[in-house]
Amino acid sequence: MPHFMDVHEGFGGVTQGQFEDAATAESTIEAEEGVHFEHSWLDPEAGKLFCLSTGPSKEAVLRIHARAGHPTTEIYEVPIEVS
Amino acid sequence: MPHFMDVHEGFGGVTQGQFEDAATAESTIEAEEGVHFEHSWLDPEAGKLFCLSTGPSKEAVLRIHARAGHPTTEIYEVPIEVS
Q: In sequence order, which ranges of chain B are alpha helices (DSSP H)?
A: 16-29, 58-67
Task: Give the torsion sign (CA, B70, A79, B46, B75).
Answer: negative
pLDDT, tens digit, for every residue of B31-66? 999 999 999 999 999 999 999 999 999 999 999 999
The answer to whether the beta carbons of residues A25 and A68 sit under 8 Å apart is yes
The pLDDT score that the predictor gives to residue B81 is 96
Quickly state the pLDDT bin for A2 (edges 50, 70, 90).
Answer: very high
The pLDDT score that the predictor gives to residue B8 is 97
Look up the pTM and report it: 0.95
Cα separation, B58 vs A43, whole angstroms: 12
Chain A residue numbers with beta carbons less than 8 Å from the beta carbon of B76 are 41, 43, 46, 48, 50
Q: Which residues of A touch B (CB under 8 A)?
A: 3, 5, 14-16, 19-20, 23, 38-46, 48, 50, 52, 76-83
CB count within 10 Å of CB B20 equals 14
